[in-house]
Amino acid sequence: MNQRTVAFDIGGSKIEIARVGSDGAISGRATRPTPHDSFTSFAAAVASLVAEAGGADRIGISIAGTVDPATGIASAANVPAITGHAIAAELSERLGVPVRVGNDADCFALAEATVGAGRGLPVVFGAIFGTGVGGGLVVNGRLVRGAHGVTGEWGHGPVLADAVRVRGIPLIACGCGQTGCVDTYGSARGLERIHLGLADETATSKDITAAWHAGDPKAARTIDAFVDLVSGPLAMIVNTLGPSLIPIGGGLSSEERLFARLDEAVRARVLARYPGPLVVPGTTRGASGLIGAAMLALESDADA
* CATH number assigned to the domain covering 5-107+286-303: 3.30.420.40
Domain ranges of the chain: 5-107+286-303, 120-281
Name the maximum alpha-carbon separation found in the chain: 60
pLDDT tens for residues 159-199?
999 999 999 999 999 989 999 999 999 999 999 999 999 99
Q: Is residue 302's pLDDT more than 80?
A: no
Task: Determine the 3-state secondary structure of 150 from DSSP.
Answer: coil
Residues near 224 by beta carbon (within 8 Å), at least 6 away in sequence: none
pLDDT tens for residues 50-109?
999 999 999 999 998 889 888 999 999 889 999 999 999 999 999 999 999 999 999 999
* Residue 245 bridge partners (DSSP): 124
pTM of the model: 0.94
Return d(Cα 207, Cα 255) in angstroms, integer.
Answer: 12
Q: Do domains 5-107+286-303 and 120-281 have the same CATH topology?
A: yes
CATH H-level, domain 120-281: superfamily: ATPase, nucleotide binding domain (3.30.420.40)
Task: Determine the 3-state secondary structure of 273 from DSSP.
Answer: coil
Helices marked H in the chain — which ranges? 39-52, 87-95, 104-114, 161-166, 182-185, 188-199, 205-213, 217-241, 256-269, 288-303
